[in-house]
Structure formats: structure tokens, C-alpha cells
Amino acid sequence: MNTDDRMKALFREIFQVPEKDFCDDLTPDTVREWDSVSHLVLFTALEKEFRIQIRSEELIDLTSVRKIKDLLARKGIM
């Protein structure tokens, strides 16, 4: 499974986002289930799935799929 597929699976599991609706433009404003608690669930899942550590400064700024992908790229994942 590639990185994008792994992220789709996490968004499907945590936010019930259908695979066909997954895109870089998803944000807390466009995903009703993306609230402060599920934000923490997502980043815990990202750390586990990609074996990375996300600093609190990074966590606050990651408010879209695009920004998450940028972080993963900076960490050498994508």
C-alpha cells in the first residue's frame, strides 16, 4: 500500500470519509467529524502508521490533507 492509500484508510477509519471523497483539500471545515478530539486521534494514528514523531508545533498547523502530506514529505515518507 502506498502512502496515499494508507492515509485514505486512516481518514476512512477515523472520519468515515469515503475513498472517492478523499482529496488534498479536506480540512476540519469540510469534514464534520474532524474536531479537536479526532484531530488528536488522527495524529496518533499517523505517528503509529508511518513510525514518525509529530511535534506539538507541527500538530497545530496540520489542518488539511495537503499539509499532512507536506509534513510526511519533510520527514522522508512521501
Q: Which pLDDT does position 1 carry in this prediction? A: 82
Q: For 7, what's the count of Cα atoms within 13 Å in the CB-facing half-sphere?
A: 21
Q: Which three cell numbers stand for residue 62?
A: 496540520
49-69 pLDDT, tens digit each? 999 999 988 988 899 999 999
Q: What is the mean pLDDT of residues 39-44?
A: 94
Residues contacting residue 35 through CB under 8 Å, at least 6 positions apart: 28
Q: Which pLDDT does position 65 carry in this prediction? A: 96
CATH number of 3-74: 1.10.1200.10
Domain segments of the chain: what residues? 3-74
Cut 0.85: pTM above it: yes
Q: How far apart are CA 29 and CA 3, in angstroms?
A: 23
